[in-house]
Amino acid sequence: MRQNTVKRALVAFALALPGAAIATVVAAPAAHADGCYTWKRDLYQGRSGDDVRQLQIRVAGWAARGGIVRIDGDFGPETAAAVKRFQTAYGLRSDGIAGKQTFSKLYQLQDNDCTPAHFSYRELDGGCGKGGWSGGPLSATETKANAVHTMWKLEALRRGLGDKPLYVTSGFRDESCNKQVGGASNSQHLYGNAADVTSQSRSLCEIARASRDHGFSGIYGPGYPGHDDHVHVDSRRENNRDNLTNRTSWAAPDCGVSR
């Protein structure tokens, strides 16, 4: 977990030249130029494109309880509902339309490498101290992209817990690391879709319960074998590479979490 960083903005200044008046046409700059991604139009139901997809990645942690936000580039009802929840969580006008205020908040939350403010690639990559994104079932590029998706859900979970720090104790694992730690053969850690988290200010049961409202379809915590010292969260419903697709599995018996 790291402290929020200062976002870099590019600001265009019109400079008045001394002397005779010269007719000059200056192209209007974008309202904001972000180091990671800049949205150039308002987004709402019915719109589609990569800009919608980029938005969906960032609001995926604001799905309804037990739901997910599909990263498909189509702005439908589930995306609108997630945008509304995001807006409400940050004190914005809650209308489900992603415009200037919504994008400004997202710019504040994301770093230039596209990770959210309170999580980093370093925390999510290479279990067992190896580093890197290779060695799993997917390409390194796909795995890294999944890790970004995971981090944005964790950012939403953190906000839902009152902006109290969460610590990632295990993220992506390659095949050898997964075997070394005794992970399941189809572990979502292999895909970059999972994280094991703890907190010094929130109980594990608080984390497990809150995770239900932040887009996680796999949740394992206290009372589930091997999970009494952390909460495992993953996005198995969005992983169409195995037989877990469209399956939700929650198990934290000591916390009253099951599905």
Q: How many residues does the chain have?
A: 259
Q: Tell me which DSSP letter residue 41 carries.
A: S
The answer to whether residue 227 is catalytic is yes
Q: What is the CA radius of gyration of the chain?
A: 20
Q: Exposed, middle or buried: residue 178 (CB in 10 Å: 0-12, 13-18, 19+)? A: buried
Tokens found for residue 75 = 């702005």
Displacement of CA 85 from its chain's centroid (Å): 14
Point out the catalytic residue in the list 149, 189, 214, 227: 227
**Cα–Cα–Cα angle for 35, 121, 204, nearest 5°?**
125
CA–CA separation, 58 and 163 (whole Å): 17
Q: Give the CA-trace dihedral at 150, 119, 115, 148, to 10 degrees.
A: -20
Phi, psi of 211 (to 5 degrees): -60, -25
Q: Exposed, middle or buried: residue 22 (CB in 10 Å: 0-12, 13-18, 19+)? A: exposed
**Measured distance between the N- and C-terminal CA atoms of the chain, rounded to whole angstroms:** 29
Single-letter amino acid, residue 29? P
Q: Tell me which DSSP letter residue 163 carries.
A: S
Active site residues: 227
